[in-house]
Amino acid sequence: MAEHLETGKQAEDLAALYLTEKGYEIIARNHRYGHAEIDLIVKKGIFLVFVEVKARSNIKFGMPETAVSKLKVSLIKRAAEAYIYQIDWHQQIRFDIVSIIFTKQGYQISHFEDAFY
């Protein structure tokens, strides 16, 4: 497996663990809809949360969370809309980003709630 794919999988695993420890329930991982993929779909209380996970092994090209493009946001929203319709969800939704920076000492994780609308 390519190194960036392994890093992405590791980041998604860490994000899922982090969110679970914060009281979120993992509903789905790597949910695909057309050309879009939602990394994690989680639930906490009345919120269904669509999570984009971004990771970097260094920040010379910027922080991971800044790599979520307008196109990516549009794709995630489209996939989320289809998912909401599919499961007939009638409560609150939110779009979050979990950002992970891998360091020699381990990793640093940041959670951005309501990262985009």
Residues 48-67: tens digit of each pLDDT: 999 999 999 888 989 999 99
CATH code of residue 57:
3.40.1350.10
- pLDDT of 1 over the 80 cut: no
- Examine residue 117 and state whether it is found in any structural domain, yes or no: no
Q: What is the mean pLDDT of the chain?
A: 94
96-112 mean pLDDT: 96
Q: Which domain holds residue 43?
A: 3-65+93-112
Q: Which percentage of the chain shows pLDDT scores above 70?
A: 96
Facing residues of 112 across strands? 97
What total number of domains does the chain contain?
A: 1
| Verdict on whether the full-model pTM lies above 0.75 | yes
Chain CA centroid to CA 96, Å: 6
pLDDT at residue 111, as a whole number: 98
- Examine residue 104 and state whether it is found in any structural domain, yes or no: yes
- Examine residue 84 and state whether it is found in any structural domain, yes or no: no
Q: How confident is the model at residue 4 (pLDDT cuts 50, 70, 90)?
A: low
